Structure formats: structure tokens, C-alpha cells
């Protein structure tokens, strides 16, 4: 019997609704697919990395907590683990997204000496990619001729097309030299795709080295991409489509960060 079957059986015995059973098994399946390790005992670091990857993918606090509850239930009620999973995700606040200025982005890139890592960060910013989209990007997804990237099965299992920065064509071609269309663009030193954690650590190190003090994360590259497009005069509907936002209201958060009308108002303090 598989882990998912064990979970489903336990939920049925406790008379959980079909909706809850489907939700919990779906969440747990995603966790298993993301981690691919021994699941007999909970690994708190792996669970945290998984939850952070959901956060980086713009999942709502409710969705993240649903995944966390499914994992807790599995280990507590199915595996009868004595290890306490004391992890709590707070509700998302109404804070504005952290956006790096164009100069911040340049300083960040200048601080990265590893060519592959520098290209990775440049691509994440230049194409507005989520961390999971960078990790899962394959060579065949990039159209160098039309300067576009086909993002497959992104958030909500939806495909979308985003732009590709012409500035890094040569660097990316060097990185992927000899690769097949099915190969991941960014491969870890041990082979296979890079992990969410490695990208987060890479970004944190570059941020510190560049001297930027803003509380930015890897996802701030995507926030900055959207904000700078709006500053360039790109219609918000196009920005919405490029980012893959289902609702225009999600994209509108960036208009609060970049508001020319406010920027042109002078303070009365002279």
C-alpha cells in the first residue's frame, strides 16, 4: 500500500469528506514529488523548504497552511511519528512587495562572479520568473529567435509565454552548449536540477555582498520585473499576461509601488 493510499484509508475511517480527502492527498502528493526522499520520518528542513517553495510560487496563506496540515496529519495519524512538526505560517500581510531599483539589480549582478549564477539571476529578473520556473526551465522552452520563453505547467498548472532578455543570449548559449532540448538549463553540481534552497542561498549571498539592505528575497526579482515594466509604460494587461496572474488585482499591487503621479509631488518641506 502506498503512502497516499494509507492516508486516504485513514481519512475514510475517520469519516472525512471526499473534498477533504482529495485536498489532503493532492497536497501530500505534491510534497512527495517535490522532496523525493524517505518519508517514514518527518524532515523539518525539507518540509520548510517545500512550504517556502509554495510561498515563492505566490500560493495563498490558506493554500500553504492546507499543505502543512496535510503533512502534519500524515505523520501524526498515519505514521504515528513522535516528532513534533512545530511549523506555523502566518497570514500574508498587506505590505507592499519589496522592489529592487534598477541600480540595485545592477549592483546585485555585479556582485556575482560565477557566470552561471549571474546568468540565472539575470534571467529570473529579465523574464519575471518564479523560483520554481527557473529550476524547471528546460533548454527547449527557450525561443532564442523570438526572444520568448514557454513556461510550462506554472502556477495553477497553466502554461504561459514570457519575454526573454536579449542581453544574456550569448551567456545562456555558452551554459547550454551540448545540451539537448529536454535538459534543464541550470544544473546542480551533483547533476539534475537545482533546488529551491540553493537559489535562495545564492540570492541571499549576492544581496549581502552587494550591500543592499532591503529585505528582499529571490521573489523580489519578479516583483522588480513587474514594477519596471509598468514604469516603462507597458500596459498593465500585458504585464498581467506575462506574469501569468489570473486576476488583474494581483498585478495592480505594483501600481502602488510605482506611481508617477505621487513621485511628481514635491514635499512641502523646503
Active-site amino acid positions: 130, 155, 219, 222, 245, 254
- Check if the beta carbon of residue 151 is closer than 8 Å to that of residue 160: yes
DSSP for 242-253 reads: HHT-SSHHHHHG
Chain mean position to CA 135:
9
The cell 517514514 sits on which residue?
40
d(C-alpha 4, C-alpha 7), whole Å: 5
Q: Which of 202, 233, 237 is nearest to 218 (CA)?
A: 202
The owner of cell 495553477 is: 156
**Closest among 244, 187, 247, 258 to 57, alpha carbons compared:** 244
Amino acid at each position: 500500500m502506498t503512502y497516499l493510499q494509507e492516508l486516504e484509508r485513514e481519512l475514510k475511517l475517520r469519516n472525512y469528506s471526499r473534498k477533504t480527502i482529495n485536498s489532503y492527498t493532492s497536497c501530500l502528493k505534491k510534497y512527495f514529488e517535490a522532496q523525493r526522499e524517505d518519508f517514514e520520518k518527518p524532515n523539518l528542513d525539507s518540509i520548510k523548504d517545500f512550504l517556502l517553495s509554495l510561498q515563492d510560487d505566490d500560493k495563498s496563506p490558506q493554500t500553504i497552511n492546507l499543505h502543512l496540515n496535510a503533512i502534519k496529519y500524515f505523520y501524526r495519524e498515519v505514521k504515528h511519528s513522535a516528532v513534533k512538526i512545530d511549523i506555523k505560517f502566518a497570514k500574508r500581510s498587506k505590505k507592499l512587495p519589496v522592489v529592487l531599483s534598477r541600480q540595485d539589480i545592477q549592483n546585485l549582478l555585479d556582485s556575482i562572479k560565477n557566470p552561471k549564477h549571474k546568468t540565472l539571476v539575470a534571467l529570473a529578473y529579465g523574464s519575471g520568473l518564479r523560483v520554481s520556473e527557473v529550476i524547471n526551465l528546460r533548454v527547449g522552452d527557450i525561443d532564442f529567435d523570438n526572444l520568448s520563453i514557454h513556461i510550462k505547467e506554472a502556477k495553477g498548472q497553466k502554461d504561459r509565454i514570457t519575454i526573454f532578455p536579449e542581453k544574456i543570449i550569448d551567456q545562456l548559449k555558452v551554459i547550454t552548449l551540448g545540451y539537448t532540448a529536454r535538459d534543464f538549463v541550470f544544473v546542480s553540481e551533483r547533476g539534475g536540477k537545482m533546488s529551491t534552497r540553493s537559489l535562495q542561498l545564492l540570492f541571499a549571498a549576492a544581496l549581502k555582498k552587494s550591500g543592499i539592505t532591503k529585505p528582499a528575497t529571490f521573489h523580489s526579482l519578479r516583483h522588480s520585473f513587474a514594477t519596471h515594466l509598468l514604469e516603462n509604460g507597458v500596459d498593465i494587461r500585458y504585464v498581467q499576461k506575462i506574469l501569468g496572474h489570473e486576476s488583474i488585482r494581483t498585478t495592480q499591487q505594483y501600481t502602488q509601488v510605482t506611481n508617477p503621479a505621487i513621485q511628481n509631488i514635491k514635499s512641502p518641506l523646503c
